[in-house]
Amino acid sequence: MIWIALKMLMGDRAKYLGIIFGVGFASLLISHQVSIFVSLMARTTHLVRNVEEGEVWVMDPNVRQGDEVIGLADDALHRVRGVEGVAWAVKLYRGNVRARLAEGNDNGARGDFRGVILMGLDDSTLVGAPRKMLMGSVDDLNKPDAVIIDEAGYHYLFPGQPHRIGQILEMTDKRAEIVGICQVGQPFQSQPIFYTKYTRALEYSPPERRLLSYIVVEPAEGVSPKELCDRITRDTGLQARTRDELRWMTIDFYLKNTGIPFNFGITVAIGFIVGVAIAGQTFYLFTIENLKQFGALKAMGTSNLRIVGMILVQALVVGLVGYGLGVGGTALFFELTQTSIPLKGFHMIWQVMAGTAVVVSFIVVLASLLSIRKVLVLEPAVVFR
């Protein structure tokens, strides 16, 4: 019976390909858009992902997400270090500044201002420094006026130029020299990221009364990050979050305060509706045209349960083929765009593949139900009319 069902399915090549197109298009649109959405949300947490040391982050109580910096008092570091269970705690600066390409650079855009993200690392430990260097070394930050730029930011400031160090910039009218190029997770707004020492970052930043952005803390042995967060909050009155808590707090902020989830949700819904409409209608027309064949099978004694099984086998085949083509197309897209700087880091995770499989299964089951009802009420005598 399975062989007969497959022969019936593939006998009309146009309708067979039409059903596969509907399911494949739906799975492609759903998996692609959900993957883009997940990758965008991951970019909002670039600050936590790029600083790999420290399990606890301390910040102002009013901070709602990672990029919303509210300065702390200078004595906050000493108060945090005095909390029981702290192995070490260091300062971290994160700010938005304006950089200007200085005269003398071989670049047509020199003299233009660009908004950049400036990271100030603890002078002695350099906690938070990038791990993957493409040129130069983290130790080069000990040189005067030294900064390290991320790869995407370098192409943004120096488009079309090969990687080289020694480029000169000005930040807040102060000289900065690029001594290294690194590869880190890109931010949500695709701004260049500069790394330098904490004291130098304060010189580059606009004058403010409080410039300490975060305190990165490592718990002592035997103390859990969550337990240490509770101690710091109780003893200092500051907000302390684990790495995961800060990451999800940032994602939650963007989900609640931007139109990103709504817009992506509309696109996914359109993919689902189109998949149901095309697959359901084509599958229904396919069943209508084969009513005589189903009637003949009924006349020969085939039970309704066996015929329902045949239709479900047909639905399973078009679902698997369509799902494979759609998800394969999404995987191919991300594979081909991995070398593109703006799309670097965008990828499809296995949870998206599993979720798409569930949605596609629902689409083919819904499409087959429309056909099953027509076959169940079919009279075997239709074959003799």
Q: pLDDT band for 382, please (50, 70, 90 cuts).
A: low
- Dig out the tokens for 9 from the structure: 């399915």
Question: pLDDT value at position 101?
Answer: 80
Helix (H) or strand (E) holding 376: helix 350-376
Q: Are 48 and 243 in contact (CB under 8 A)?
A: yes
Whether residue 248 is contained in a domain is answered as no
Helices 260-289 and 350-376 pack at an angle, to 10 degrees, of: 30
Looking at the fold, whether 112 and 210 belong to one and the same domain comes out as yes
Name the amino acid, one letter, at 359: V
pTM above 0.85, yes or no: no
Residue with tokens 């047509």: 108
Query: Any idea which of 95-104, 182-191, 227-236, 279-288 has the lowest mean pLDDT?
Result: 279-288
**Exposed e or buried b per residue across 94-117, where buried means at least 16 C-beta atoms within 10 angstroms of its C-beta:** bbebebbbeeebeeeeeeeebebb
Q: Domain of 331? A: 2-43+259-384
Q: Are 311 and 365 in contact (CB under 8 A)?
A: no
Looking at the fold, whether 273 and 230 belong to one and the same domain comes out as no
With H, G, I as helix, E, B as strand and everything else as coil, classify residue 129: coil
Whether residue 287 is contained in a domain is answered as yes
Q: pLDDT band for 359, please (50, 70, 90 cuts).
A: confident
Looking at the fold, whether 153 and 99 belong to one and the same domain comes out as yes
Whether residue 269 is contained in a domain is answered as yes
* pLDDT tens per residue, range 198-252: 999 999 988 888 889 999 999 999 999 999 999 999 999 999 999 999 999 999 9
CA distance 24 to 330: 11
Whether residue 333 is contained in a domain is answered as yes
Looking at the fold, whether 33 and 90 belong to one and the same domain comes out as no
- What does the DSSP 8-state code read for residue 64? -
Looking at the fold, whether 178 and 138 belong to one and the same domain comes out as yes
* pLDDT tens per residue, range 77-98: 999 999 999 999 999 999 999 8
Looking at the fold, whether 196 and 279 belong to one and the same domain comes out as no
Number of domains in the chain: 2
Looking at the fold, whether 349 and 224 belong to one and the same domain comes out as no
Looking at the fold, whether 219 and 77 belong to one and the same domain comes out as yes
Looking at the fold, whether 36 and 131 belong to one and the same domain comes out as no
Residue with tokens 């000493």: 78
Which of 202, 198, 203, 190 has the alpha carbon at shortest distance from 154?
190
Pairing of strands 86-101, 193-197: unpaired
* pLDDT tens per residue, range 108-127: 455 577 889 999 999 999 99
Mean pLDDT over the full length of the chain: 85
